[in-house]
Amino acid sequence: MMRAMQTSLEYPMLSAVVDDLATRGWSQQALFLPAALARALAAECRRRYADGELNPAGVGRGAAQEVRETIRGDQIQWIDPGQAEACDQYLAAMDELRQAINQGLFLGLEDFECHFALYPPGAFYRRHLDRFRDDDRRMVSAVFYLNEDWQPEDGGQLRMFLAGDVVHDVQPQAGCLAVFLSGDVPHEVLPAGRERLSLTGWFRRRGNDPF
């Protein structure tokens, strides 16, 4: 059994994320969670991939969803509580962040959904927004990276397109968390030169799901 790891977040880090979201709509924290937890999550993602539990990600929603590798090439599996200790620790940390965002920004975030995402070498995800046109529940996106010793030449950066034609790249280095407003920040994943792992998720408010 994996040894329990401390994941309770420090208030200054939570406050930094909230302040960043309030002032510029995005935040990047280089060492958001312990390295041991990032390694355990990477091992869990690779185990699921080896067992055939990850599936090609689709684009669109509901009946219109389809796999289109010319748009995105990652493989995913959604996470539920109780599946693995490392995943439960991650979900607990994200709930701390959800409460901090609610306290600071009054967004009414009710839950958090996330999935493992594995990009094989050469895979990418074209520019997009995380909020569906017919469903505005996704308010804040959060991507936690699981790749040790990632180098800039490995590619796979998260590229955010910000106000004033500013472009900001996030290296998918293990322990790094990128957070941004789902409906306001277009972004893409650049082609990865080697296997690229992350946990990608969304804080959601209450809404009506048409499906």
What's this model's pTM, rounded to 2 decimal places? 0.89
**Out of 60-74, 84-98, 123-137, least confident range:** 60-74
pLDDT at 206 over 90: no
C-alpha distances out from residue 129 to 17, 48, 65, 138, 185, Å: 20, 27, 16, 10, 7
HEC-encoded secondary structure of 128-196: ECCCECCECCEEEEEEEECECCCCHHHECCEEEEEHHHEEEEECCECCCEEEEECCCCCEEECCECCCE
pLDDT at 142 over 50: yes
* 132 vs 146: CA distance, rounded Å: 26
DSSP-derived 3-state class of residue 210: coil
The pLDDT of residue 12 is: 80
Provide the percentage of residues in the chain whose pLDDT is more than 90: 79
Q: Which residue has the tokens 């991650």?
A: 90
pLDDT single digits (tens) 20-44: 999 999 999 999 999 999 999 999 9
Both tokens of residue 201? Answer: 């998720």
Provide the percentage of residues in the chain whose pLDDT is more than 70: 85
User: Are 68 and 52 a contacting pair, CB within 8 Å?
Assistant: no
